[in-house]
Chains A and B, each alone.
Chain A
Amino acid sequence: MKYAYFTGCVAKGTCPELHASTVELAKVLGIELWEMTDATCCGAGVIRDENPELQIALNARTFAMAEAAEMDIVNICSTCQQNLGQDNRAMREDPALLERTNDILSQNGLHYSGKTQVKNLLWVLVGDYGLDRLAQKVVRPLTGLRVASYYGCQLLRPVEDTGYDDPDNPTSFDNLVRALGGTPVDYAGKTRCCGFHILTVNEDTSTKMAVKRLEEAEEAEADIMVTPCPLCHTSLDAYQPRATKLQGSNVRMPVLHLSQLVGLACGIDVGDLKLNQLMVSPQSALSGVL
């Protein structure tokens, strides 16, 4: 299995540990990753707001590179998944748009025919790799660990772009947790927004949203939360101390990235997974597993 690996900006910026754990995990699972060091930012919906065709052109460039390398794209971020996915669909559905975009790409000697598929790591693990196969790789089962899988919002919508799970009743993440030996917990906020995208614009509202998600997981007696996305990760973990302080909440919830959780179950060294870089230490939550 070989993928064009789209790191996204945050895993190369403020959350380098998630890039590191993804690379380690891929090694253990025998998934080959070709890091797309030339891929741009996905636009995060921000560029789309301002100039939809610009964002599409940037992403088409990324798709063209993956297509030339004959690989599908894997990403480790819900926002990347949403934006790449939606723009990809837009071009597939609108041949004229694809043609216009190719005109722009041609100045860089690139062409995109619409074949590339975009998959979040979660979909790669659940869909391509397979949970049975994954279960066989588990050497450190998450027995007894109550895991609140946090799909968040962008991974699932719009459904036509991402298309791998039912946005109203997603099950893949929980199935994955089960395959790792853990206990999935159901909670109200699992597909609701973490507020990341307005963190700089409206910190109060954004942190309220994050705290609500954390509290919902806590109420369901989760030991940890897991996200497939460095942005949710930033909101929920990196910002957790500040958010809880601003909103006067006592919640304390360790939040792991998907690659870290799977890596953990697959026996990767805790140091290599950079769990020590989490803002909220998972030490005691994971004591039964480690």
Chain B
Amino acid sequence: MKSTFLIQRYVPEQDSAPHVERYELDLWDEATILDGLLAIKDSQDDSLAFRRACRHAICGSCSMVVNGYTKLVCKTAIASEVKRGRSELKITPMRSMKVLKDLIVDMSPFWKHFRDVEPWLQPDPAKVPPPNEEYRVTPQQLAPSRKDLNCILCAVCFSDCGVTEVDSHFAGPPALAKAHRFVTDPRDSKRKERLEKLVDLGLWDCAHAYNCMECPKHVDPAHAIADLRRISIEAGITNNIGAKHSQQFTKSVGRNGRLDETRLVMELTGITNVTGQIRNAPQGVRMLLKGKLPLPMHQKVDNPKEVRRIFETVGTKDEQ
């Protein structure tokens, strides 16, 4: 099968800016993009630099952007791109990290976020079993973190995330998935402390773009983040804008069946927070002038009673 690789090249010692080089390949039908890169390195240009190791999606080395989306290239067949009608594969380094050479990026920000969640078990010393015994943990207790364990820290999701791209403070999907793994571990004793710290690390900054659902290892960090949010509210860690937004939102829907945005914003800013209200005011006035005026009486669904009944059955106390 024929394909063309358009690879972004950059050698810091000689290039002032990256440029694109074109390579023609004719490989077997099942060849992966990594096979393509290896073939180029072996027989066309030994100077092409990229990371790779296991070649079967367990070491997490070979993430790069292919036609706009980050892929683990050992797991991505060239044919899958060709099938999409793209026989030209534009390959660039991952986003949100500095390019060091060709397709190699500086992953230190990624690892820093990972370390920030204190990714190690912190048990209660009094509860550690003796050396000849293990903790008793049932398969059911293991289930919540099962997917988190799959994470190979390849940074595919980190590179595709719209928030990490502009916000270097945001922990990013894999670090949060790692945190989820410990928060849901029955042996860990620092659940609350972890959750409190996670609020600072950006637990509520995920924008629900779901790019990370394309995880090559099916980790589903979006779910981990959602679950952490739920757990943190349950744990009473609600004195932060994210949790408040979530709670007020749900309450608003419980009241009338629909979200009342204006009221939500006012409640979040705090009715008595005069500076905050004034800061929001210009935006409000602008919208008002454009006829984007929320109706004075917030629209209700026809049968708010039915909605309230649902809230009474499945909602938590606070949501009711």
Contact = CB atoms under 8 A, between A and B. Distances in A.
**Do any beta carbons of A and B sit within 8 angstroms of each other in the complex?**
yes
Contacts of A192: 162, 165, 209, 211
Given A16-B292, A46-B250, A157 B210 contact: yes
Interface string A31-53: 00000011111011111111111
Interface residues of B, number: 68
Interface string B292-320: 10110011011100110111011110010
Given A14-B287, A17-B291, A57-B314, A9 B261 contact: yes
A166 interface: yes
Contacts of B313: 57, 104, 107
Contacts of A249: none
Interface residues of A, number: 68
A136 interface: no
B207 A198 contact: yes
A50 B163 contact: no
A50 B233 contact: yes
Nearest to A204: B167
Contacts of B229: 49-50
B69 interface: yes
A43 B69 CA distance: 28
A46 B249 contact: yes
A12 B315 contact: no
A130 interface: no
B258 A277 contact: no
A194 to B, nearest CB: 8
A287 interface: no
Interface in B173-215: 204-211, 213-214
Residue with the highest number of chain A CB atoms closer than 10 Å, among B204, B209, B257, B294: B209
Contacts of A274: 291
A272 to B, nearest CB: 13
A188 B68 contact: yes
Contacts, number: 206
A10 B292 CA distance: 10
A202 interface: yes
Contact of A166 (B84, B294, B301): B84
A248 interface: no
Contacts of A47: 249-250, 253
Contact of A193 (B209, B214, B282, B283): B209
B18 interface: no
A232 B240 CA distance: 25
Interface in B112-141: none
Interface stretch (A111-119, A176-184, A236-244, A251-259): A236-244
Interface of B: 67-69, 84-86, 162-163, 165-167, 170, 204-211, 213-214, 225-226, 229-230, 233, 241-242, 245-247, 249-250, 253, 257-262, 264-265, 268, 282-283, 286-287, 290-292, 294-295, 298-299, 301-303, 306-307, 309-311, 313-316, 319
10 contacts: A9-B261, A13-B294, A14-B262, A45-B208, A50-B233, A54-B310, A153-B211, A168-B84, A193-B162, A212-B166
